[in-house]
Structure 1
Amino acid sequence: MARSTEVKDSRIVQGWTGRLFEDFAVGDIYYHPFGKTVTQADNQQFTLMTQNVAKTHVDANFAKSTEFGLPLVNSTFTLALVTGQSTIDLSMNVFANMGWDEVRMPHPVYEGDTIYSRSKVLSVRGSASRPHLGLVTVATEGFNQDGAIVISYRRTFMVYRQGHLPSTASSRPDESSLPAVEVQA
């Protein structure tokens, strides 16, 4: 393989670093960019990891005899998945989650469903006890490949204000100490 030194006229482009408190406005709607097709392995592993003994998640033969006819995906997996999907837009710079409220599961999730999500900002306010933080409340919905809402909830989290985000510089090498980027011909 041929190697060359750093390409002339290159520039270092900052990757997405997430929103800070001042970036949120009431009424903003975010369609989160990632979907996830839920597999049988996802459902069984999460169910067993959390010691959920409901047969409807792990016993396909039992599930056949229910009105659903198929294994149901663990509802707390769905909550975790949709919360995770929202992180890129909402809480990359979270200080702490304050709570999930009004969690509803209006439609079942089955193995093989693909889940997508969106969130709407409901409120933003500064923290009285921690002036370097703000509180954001969102309404989030997860929906399947057919557009059926499978979960909805409200979530409140504390997020850093501009100028108060802890530095990540100490957790990775200084860019100036790295060798030049090499390009393969």
Structure 2
Amino acid sequence: MEHMHRYYENFVIGEVIEHKSSKTIFESDNNLFSLLTMNHHPVHTNIDYASKQQHGKILVVGTLVFSLAVGITVPDISEKAIANLLYENVIHHAPVFIGDTIYVKTTILDKRESVNKEDRGVVYVESIVYNQDGKEVLSFRRKVLIKKKEAE
């Protein structure tokens, strides 16, 4: 089933979506994100400092991994969203390094129609982010307010 541009009615509780997009994280991605978000911790920006820390190399900023994962899910989850209502349980399971490639799969946990407006509903999902070795590196849940097909 093509998941692009899914309306509220198209979400099935229990369904697992393996998102088609993936992203290799380059040094430039990490540097730019660090600058844009004012996260200047040397473990993300200083090779000498990072080499003397626990992992021995530069760590990718965790919120960059989170932001990329959300972006990867957009075509399948929130292309028809009115709003993201909630992000919760953001868990960093393992470090992400420069050169790692991230992949995401999402499970539809629940859905309910809006109490106030008939043209929308709330979809509750959990996304798992894993690297090129299949190791889980991040997970999070979110609630998305999504248009119903008949509303278009």
What is the TM-score when the length of structure 2 is the normalising length? 0.96
Contact 2:9/2:149 (<8 A) preserved: yes
Within the candidate set 136, 139, 142, 1:149 is matched to 136
Q: Sort the Cα spacing of 1:16 and 1:104 in 2 relative to 1 into closer, same or farther, 3 A.
A: closer
Distance in 2 (alpha carbons) for counterparts of 1:75 and 1:46: 10
Question: Shift in Å at residue 54 of structure 1?
Answer: 1.1
Aligned residues: 151
Q: Secondary structure at the match of 1:66?
A: coil
Percent of pairs identical after alignment?
A: 31
Gaps of 5+ in 1: 1-14, 166-185
Query: What is the distance in 2 between the residues matched to 1:133 and 1:56?
Result: 43
Report what 2:88 is aligned to.
101
Q: Counterparts of 1:84 and 1:27 in 2: how far apart (Å)?
A: 21
TM-score, normalised by the number of residues in structure 1: 0.79
List, as ranges, runs of 4+ consecutive aligned residues in structure 1 with deviation greater than 4 Å. none
Matches within 5 A, 1:71-82: 71-82=58-69
Q: From 37, 46, 63, give the equivalent of 2:33.
A: 46
2:3 and 2:138 mapped to 1: Cα distance? 27
Larger radius of gyration: 1
Residue 41 (structure 2) pairs with residue 24 (structure 1): no
Give the root-mean-square deviation of aligned CA atoms: 1.3
> After superposition, where does 1:57-72 map in structure 2 within 5 Å?
57-72=44-59
Q: Which runs of 5+ in 2 are unaligned?
A: none
1:92 alignment partner in structure 2: 79
Contact in 1 for aligned 2:3/2:76 (Cα 8 Å): no
Distance 1:66 1:129 in 2: 52
Give the superposition deviation at 1:164: 1.7
Structure with the higher strand share, 1 or 2: 2
Do structure 1's residue 114 and structure 2's residue 107 form an aligned pair?
Answer: no
